[in-house]
């Protein structure tokens, strides 16, 4: 979470600059299988906080449990961490001081549920699952999502902004003239994708969103096909980074479709990042990272800039890896 603290100091506001000519695709070392056997169970998730999340998911997967349960329980660990500044109620607030949460979940049958702009609830991913399982809808937002949560047994949390977060918010207010901040370090959503011993895929994504956002802003994380997409015939993908950028290319849906058309997870992630670089001239001013998993248990990871990492648990080992990235200078 140091990056979030650094980001307060830097706070470069949306000063778009155009770069001539796109860099070539980076040389990647995709984490593929060493033989033809399908690697399962398997779970991967974004950033260093993915490691404890994968541990929780692995407990379910290694006991033969369902990927859907694994991806919910996994990210709940991070949602419950009050020191995490980008996921859950410990996250940085919007510019008016409200912590608003976005989350979604998707299963192997294509069922999905999502909540956005939700306040005071510790586990938005579980509310998203309940939207999926108990309503005819996919997405509930704001007060409606909150009332739905309360009506279904979730409690209003009494968790308040920590002194550290309050201080950071006040500092940001002083330095930034109430303008939303677009920055390379404002990007620590947890996205998780997993395959269980049955070979079924699921995914989840949860965040407090971009720090100091406008009140009411929703990013990519709760939007199916942007922060997360799962197709049990093909694979799954999740995203982290500047949500507006991911939404503009329907990032995770794009990656799954690229895999459907024959790309490896690594190639698909690289092409999605290239798409951003081609269409969004200010791409060097922000970060986006993608993870992907196919039905064979091959994995892909790629980001715009350096410093994107992810946790991969497979064959009983849960390790952090640095992702390859596009902008090498």
Partnered with residue 290 across adjacent β-strands are 239, 302
Of positions 189, 232, 252, 285, contacts ligand GLY by CB under 6 A: 189
**C-alpha span between 314 and 321 (Å, rounded):** 13
**Smallest distance, Å, CB 209 to ligand GLY?**
4
Task: Single out the segment in contact with ligand GLY by CB under 6 A; choices: 88-96, 162-170, 214-222, 290-298.
Answer: 214-222
Closer residue to ligand GLY (CB): 73 or 206:
206
Identified catalytic residue from 46, 189, 240, 285 = 189
x-marked contacts with ligand GLY along 241-270 as a string, rule CB under 6 A: xxx---------------------------
Closer residue to ligand GLY (CB): 65 or 219:
219
Q: Is residue 185 a contact point for ligand GLY (CB under 6 A)?
A: no
**Smallest distance, Å, CB 303 to ligand GLY?**
12
Burial of residue 147, with CB atoms counted within 10 A of its CB: 0-12 exposed, 13-18 middle, 19 or more buried: exposed
Closer residue to ligand GLY (CB): 196 or 226:
226
Q: Is residue 209 a contact point for ligand GLY (CB under 6 A)?
A: yes
Closer residue to ligand GLY (CB): 93 or 297:
93
Closer residue to ligand GLY (CB): 91 or 113:
91
Interface with ligand GLY in residues 57-86 (CB under 6 A): none
**Active-site residue flag, 189:** yes
**Smallest distance, Å, CB 321 to ligand GLY?**
20
Of positions 41, 91, 113, 219, contacts ligand GLY by CB under 6 A: 219
**Smallest distance, Å, CB 41 to ligand GLY?**
26
**Smallest distance, Å, CB 217 to ligand GLY?**
8
Closer residue to ligand GLY (CB): 118 or 210:
210
Q: What is the 3-state secondary structure (H, E, C) of 175-193?
A: HHCCCCCCCCCCCCCEEEE
Residues marked as catalytic: 189
Site residues for ligand GLY per CB under 6 A: 189, 207, 209-210, 219-221, 240-243
């Amino acid at each position: 979470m140091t990056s979030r603290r650094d980001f307060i100091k830097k706070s470069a506001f949306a000063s778009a600059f155009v770069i001539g000519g796109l860099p070539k695709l980076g040389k990647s070392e995709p984490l593929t299988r060493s033989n033809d056997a399908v690697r399962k169970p398997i779970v991967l998730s974004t950033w260093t906080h993915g490691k404890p999340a994968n541990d929780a998911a692995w407990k379910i997967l290694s006991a033969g449990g369902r990927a859907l349960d694994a991806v919910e329980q996994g990210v709940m660990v991070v949602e419950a961490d009050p020191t995490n500044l980008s996921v859950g109620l410990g996250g940085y607030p919007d510019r008016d001081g409200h912590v608003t949460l976005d989350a979604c979940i998707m299963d192997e049958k294509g069922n999905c549920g999502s909540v956005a702009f939700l306040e005071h609830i510790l586990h938005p991913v579980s509310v998203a699952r309940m939207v999926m399982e108990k309503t005819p809808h996919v997405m509930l937002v704001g007060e409606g999502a909150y009332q739905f949560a309360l009506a279904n047994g979730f409690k209003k949390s009494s968790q308040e902004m920590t002194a550290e977060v309050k201080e950071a918010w006040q500092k940001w207010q002083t330095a930034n003239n109430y303008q939303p901040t677009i920055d390379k370090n404002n990007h620590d959503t947890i996205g998780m994708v997993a395959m269980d011993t049955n070979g079924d895929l699921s995914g989840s994504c949860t965040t407090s969103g971009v720090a100091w956002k406008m009140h009411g802003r929703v990013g990519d994380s709760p939007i199916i096909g942007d922060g997360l997409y799962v197709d049990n015939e093909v694979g799954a993908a999740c995203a982290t980074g500047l949500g507006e950028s991911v939404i503009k290319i329907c990032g995770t849906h794009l990656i799954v479709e690229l895999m459907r058309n024959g790309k490896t997870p690594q190639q698909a992630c690289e092409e999605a990042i290239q798409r951003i670089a081609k269409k969004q001239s200010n791409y060097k001013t922000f970060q986006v990272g993608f993870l992907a998993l196919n039905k064979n248990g091959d994995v892909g990871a790629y980001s715009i800039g350096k410093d994107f990492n992810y946790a991969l648990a497979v064959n009983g080992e849960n390790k952090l890896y640095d992702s390859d990235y596009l902008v090498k200078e």
